[in-house]
Chains A and B, each alone.
Chain A
Amino acid sequence: MPSMQALERDQALTKPAYRILSEKFGEKVSRVTEYRGDLAITVDRAAWKEAARTLRDHPELDYKLFLDLCGVDYLNDESRPDRFEVALHLYSVTHKHHIRLKTAVPEKNPTCDSLTDIYKGANWFEREAFDLYGIAFLGHPNLTRILTHDDFVGHAMRKDFPTGKRFVSKKPKEWLLHVPKGSEHLVLNVGPSHPAMHGTFRVQVLLDGETIRDAAAEIGYLHRNFEKMAEERTYWQIIPYTDRLNYCSAFINGHGWALAVEKLLGVAAPARAEAIRVILSEFSRIMDHLVCISTNVVDLGAITPFFVVFRAREEIYDLLDSVCGARLTVSYVRIGGVAQDVPDDFDARCRKTLGWIREVADQMENLLTRNKIFADRFKDVGVMSKEDALSYGWVGPCLRGSGVGYDIRKDHPYSGYDQYDFDVPVGTVGDCYDRYLVRVEEIKQSARIIEQALAKLPKGDFITHDRKVALPPKSEVYSNIESLMNHFKLVYDGILAEPGEVYGYCEGANGELGYYIVSEGKKYPTRVKVRPPCYNIYQAYPEMIKGTMIADAVAMIGGLNVVAGELDR
Chain B
Amino acid sequence: METLLTPALKEIAIDAVIGVIKLAVIFNVLLLVFSLMTYIERRILGFMQFRRGPNRTGPWGILQPAADGIKLFFKEELMPEGANKFLFFAAPVVAIITAYVSLAVVPYGGPLVLPFYGPVSLFGRPINIQIADLDVGILFIFAITALGVYSIVFAGYASNNKYALIGGLRSSAQMFSYELALGMSWVSVIMAAGSFRLNDIVAAAERMNPWMWLLIQFPAFVIYMIAACAEVNRTPFDLPEGETELVAGFHVEYSSMKFALMQMAEYINMMTVCALASNMFLGGWLSPLPGVIPNSPLWFFAKMGLLLFVFIWLRATVPRFRYDQLMNFGWKRLIPAAAIWVVLFSGLTAVFGEKKTPPSTVAIIAPAAGQVSR
Contacts and interface: CB of A to CB of B under 8 A. Distances in A.
Interface of A: 186, 188, 194-196, 207, 210, 297-304, 306-308, 311, 367, 371, 373-374, 376-377, 549-552, 554-555
B317 A302 contact: yes
29 contacts: A188-B166, A194-B247, A195-B243, A195-B247, A196-B245, A207-B166, A210-B166, A299-B244, A299-B245, A300-B244, A301-B243, A302-B235, A302-B318, A302-B319, A303-B315, A303-B316, A307-B51, A308-B49, A308-B50, A371-B318, A373-B325, A374-B318, A374-B319, A376-B321, A376-B325, A377-B319, A550-B245, A551-B323, A555-B322
A195 B316 contact: no
A555 B325 CA distance: 14
Interface of B: 45, 48-51, 162-163, 165-166, 170, 235-236, 238-239, 242-247, 315-325
Contact of B238 (A297, A301, A376, A552): A301
Contacts, number: 88
B278 to A, nearest CB: 26
Contacts of B242: 301, 551
Contacts of A207: 166
Contacts of B235: 301-302
Given A210-B166, A550-B166, A304 B322 contact: no
Given A300-B319, A308-B49, A551-B239, 17 more contacts: A188-B163, A194-B247, A195-B244, A207-B166, A300-B320, A301-B318, A373-B236, A373-B325, A374-B318, A376-B325, A377-B321, A549-B322, A550-B245, A550-B323, A551-B245, A554-B244, A555-B322
Given A186-B162, A210-B166, A303-B316, A196 B323 contact: no
Nearest to B48: A304
A393 B287 CA distance: 66
A195 B249 CA distance: 12
A207 B166 CA distance: 10
Contact of B324 (A194, A306, A549, A554): A549
Contact of A373 (B49, B238, B315, B321): B321
Contacts of A196: 244-245
Given A186-B162, A300-B319, A376-B325, A554 B236 contact: no
Mostly, the B contact residues are helix
**Among all A-B residue pairs, the 5 with the closest Cβ atoms:** A301-B320, A300-B319, A307-B49, A302-B319, A551-B322
A554 B245 CA distance: 6
Q: Which of B50, B244, B325 has the most CB of A within 10 A?
A: B244
A307 B317 CA distance: 12
A50 B119 CA distance: 96
A298 B235 CA distance: 12
Nearest to B49: A307
Contacts of A554: 244-245
Contacts of A297: 319
B17 to A, nearest CB: 48
Contacts of B45: 303
B50 A301 contact: no
A377 B166 CA distance: 20
A373 B247 contact: no
